Structure 1
Amino acid sequence: MMWLRRTPSDVDTMVHESRRFGVGVMVGPSERAEVLVPPAPFVQRRFTAAGWLFTEQVYQRLR
């Protein structure tokens, strides 16, 4: 998520690029920040041995 203090002059380009790369964009101060583009959800594209081991260990502790 990218947080900007003010709206950039080329908003259309920024929205297009952020959607292309899956980066969310918020604009404004923390009290009144507006989400212009929500971030893309995380999708795991591959499994690693370390990730698999972690999943197995968590599952074992939950059982």
Structure 2
Amino acid sequence: MQPQALSILDTARSLSIGKSSVYNLIKKGKLPLFKIGARSVIRREDINAFLAGGCKAERKDNRAA
């Protein structure tokens, strides 16, 4: 059985992105964050909904044009 809520690190691993990208998604309102005591978690259903929406973490293209 999979956990119903994931830590920031586990969320980053499941999305194959860095923790800072997870924080950016939270800040943009694309992933809701919940507090359980002192722990910040993201519900698995919210991660699945994010993935189902076809959204991908944004990457900046720092290459010169």
> Shorter-chain TM-score: which interval?
under 0.3
Higher helix share: 1
Give the structure, 1 or 2, with the largest relative contact order (CA under 8 Å, sep 6 or more). 2
Larger Rg: 1
The TM-score normalised by the length of structure 1 is: 0.24
The TM-score normalised by the length of structure 2 is: 0.23
